[in-house]
Chain A
Amino acid sequence: EAGVVQSPRYKIIEKKQPVAFWCNPISGHNTLYWYLQNLGQGPELLIRYENEEAVDDSQLPKDRFSAERLKGVDSTLKIQPAELGDSAVYLCASSTMTGGKETQYFGPGTRLLVL
């Protein structure tokens, strides 16, 4: 079974430029997450989708960040314009229920460097 796929794996951009990340979750996983991970920190939730609906985007900085999951499968996360402080790893995860409990499966992440 293929895991969560993310692209690109690495991205270097100049500040004020736009950037987009793509995620393909595990087949059949209805729940999709985008996390931000800074160096030396744990993942922090940006947004959670149930199918195509964003059910928790309270942590998403909506002035510059946007996300979509139009058909309830793939998702994109966009930053426009990027700032120096956005340099981090952006993780996508999808989840399934096992024994009544949710388990998240993470992609390899996209490492963003804003210069």
Chain B
Amino acid sequence: DQQVKQNSPSLSVQEGRISILNCDYTNSMFDYFLWYKKYPAEGPTFLISISSIKDKNEDGRFTVFLNKSAKHLSLHIVPSQPGDSAVYFCAASASNTGNQFYFGTGTSLTVIP
């Protein structure tokens, strides 16, 4: 049973525009969420995280929004750059389950120059 879902396998965006990557989860006990970025032949790289006590966390061009009532989070990248082209995974964990992380299936972002 997939507890973290990324329903869009791919996304193409023009350079300079906003990229919005979405993630849904089913477990209401999740209280910590992360986004990872993965280039081909490399392991995932931590990008940004958010705790359930917040609804927004911003780091430079990257902002993560959390809507707990909808069990939905999104990653906004603005402005998008060609170097942002990668696969993005969202992950979630619950404090009361020993910090096991559950990953989505990933969204492949292509930023078109």
Using a CB–CB cutoff of 8 Å, the interface residues on chain A facing chain B are 4, 6, 31, 33, 40-45, 48, 55-56, 91, 93, 101-109
Contact = CB atoms under 8 A, between A and B. Distances in A.
Interface of A is mostly: strand
A91 B98 CA distance: 19
Contacts of B70: none
Given A55-B98, A56-B100, A91 B105 contact: no
Contacts of A103: 34, 46, 49
Interface residues of B, number: 24
B49 A42 contact: no
A106 B43 contact: yes
Given A55-B98, A103-B49, A41 B105 contact: yes
Contacts of A101: 32, 49, 51
A43 B44 contact: yes
B91 to A, nearest CB: 8
B32 to A, nearest CB: 6
Contact of A108 (B42, B99, B100): B42
A97 B43 CA distance: 20
Nearest to B99: A102
